[in-house]
Structure 1
Amino acid sequence: MLNTLKFSLPEILSLIGLSQCVYILVYMAFRSGSLKRALIPAFYFLFLGLGFFADFGHSFIGQTSPYYAVAQWFFWFIGPPLSVLLMVQIARIEKLPNAGLFGVLLLTPLAYLFSVAMASRDNECIFPAACPIFMDWLLICGLVAGSISMLAIWLQRGVLEDLSREKRGKERYWLILTLVFANLFFLCLMFMGLEYGFTDQKVVLARTLSGLAFVYLANTSLFRIYPQAMQLINANTKDELSADEKTIAYRIEKLVDMDKIYHEASYGRADLARELEIPETVASKIINVHFRKSFPQLLNERRVADAKQLLAETDASMKVVAEEVGFNSLATFNRVFKDMEGVAPSAYRKAAKSP
């Protein structure tokens, strides 16, 4: 039996996408930290996984129901409205989107109802199994619904503009733009399939590739800041330090502010834990709760503060400034400084020294 079991390229890609969606959902279950805030991404990857599963199983179980193709369509075209909610939540990170924005989820069911109404006008159409025009209407209406969803992102441009101006919001801003382009890529592929009469296999291959693009973004970019960022927010509101931990926190403050341990480029969390004679996990918890940031962020903030002073008050070269404040390379110094201050060190010096 195994010798006769063969999969096409779209089926193999769909199976890969399905396994990745399952991995993402399991990952979120253990790392989100807040069920409420994880619902939108969980539903997005749930429906994306169902889309992969439906495409993979089409040749095996596609004939079991006349509504199988409709289910495939729904699983894929609910993606753009859900991704709108996901993008807005990424922008706000600690808040759910406004209740009114959830109305975009109605676009896909409305597209289905409109398609039914238009196809029912064809007397030769036997709905839904023997009705090619119905599937054409589903694709057209799905494209319209997806395009309107992208318009909803444009209406939220104020949130995105605010995010782009935040010193720590640029990574999320570019991630959101990438997700917008990924959605537009999906819609363009579906439009090309309609315009040029792609076969069903080509349509499946096209949307599978776009779905894999979302999975790739999730694995490489999305979960570097989300939902770990929500987990940190949730932990910060619940965790409290004991009296002993507060004492350790004050010792850390002294090491950072008085002893300036951050001037040593190689100084890390392990060195801090060894100096305080505590486990690294305890040191991380105290820093996250007391300072509301990670240890590298804490050190880099102090380094940049010292660098600003040197840039404004001395003519030392950039390399010297970077070494003096504790950066191990000029490239790292330039990158961290620009991320935190919004301008390059050279531009900051020029502005600080201008009359």
Structure 2
Amino acid sequence: MDLDVFVSAHRAQWDRLDSLVRRRRRLTGAEADELVTLYQRTATHLSLIQSSAPDPQLTGRLTQLLARARSAVTGTRRASWRDVAHFLARGFPAAVYRSRHWWVPTALISTAISAVLGWWIGTHPQVRATIAAPSELRSLTRPGGEYETYYSSHPAASFAAQVWTNNAEAAALCLVLGAFIGIPVLWVLFQNMLNLGVGVGLMSSAGRLDTFLGLVLPHGLLELTAVFAAAGTGLKLGWTVIDPGPRTRRTALAEEGRAAIGMAIGLALVLFVSGGIEGFVTPSGLPTWARIGIGLAAETAFLVYVYVAGGRAARAGETGDLAPEERSAELPLAA
């Protein structure tokens, strides 16, 4: 193909397409139809140039022109408050509900592991000796010790923000690292359960397990549920790499990955609530039963939200993924 002749023959069409794209908000019906036709022709021209006489400068120009024309043809869609409401009412709870077969077993197994670690540390002095010196252990577990003052050592607002940031980061890591066949997720999860097990073991050995649970349960119920949901979803994403099911691996990872990103945003909001409880309720002067009651109420509200609203949305076909019209095409489409 003689590139100069080809360019001379079609330059007028490209210039006309460029002119229509620039005026796309003021086009008549006939001009809109012309824009679509020229977009299709220019896409064919680009394909011919790339296969027969590739020229980097011309290819780049036509690629940019087609990108602008495609935006004019398909339109651009901006997120609105309606999208936010849909995400919170249907998308996010449906995504959490759909992954329940992963995060519920994750929660049960992780809690059991943490309990076993706590029992092992609490009943074996030689194990506690490897954690810290006896004086340091007493400083941690005594009345008014570090386990108790930890929650009131900083102003409530800054402490809540710090806790939220740390927990949101851990949840995001679980979701992002899931693509690596889920192995890093298990490590992040084990670190969290180990920290909890150490606290249970040390405080139970000092006869103050009730105090420890009174400090942890108000915020820990919702916080750990969010972490378990993130870890379970990360493991699900990792399993998708191994077994994508009837979908292609690329399609499966794209769908599950987009849902995981949405879950990361939703779980950040959940962890914001648990961080507020940890910053303002846990160190408050409320009776232990009242603080735990607030934690139970928050946990119950979240589970009802997931299993009722999320279950209803999931049964109606909601997956937490983008709407079909907003996804990239799985197969090449004719221009």
* TM-score of the pair, normalised by structure 2: 0.31
Tell me which of the two structures has the higher relative contact order, counting C-alpha pairs closer than 8 angstroms and 6 or more residues apart.
2
- In terms of Rg, which structure is larger? 2
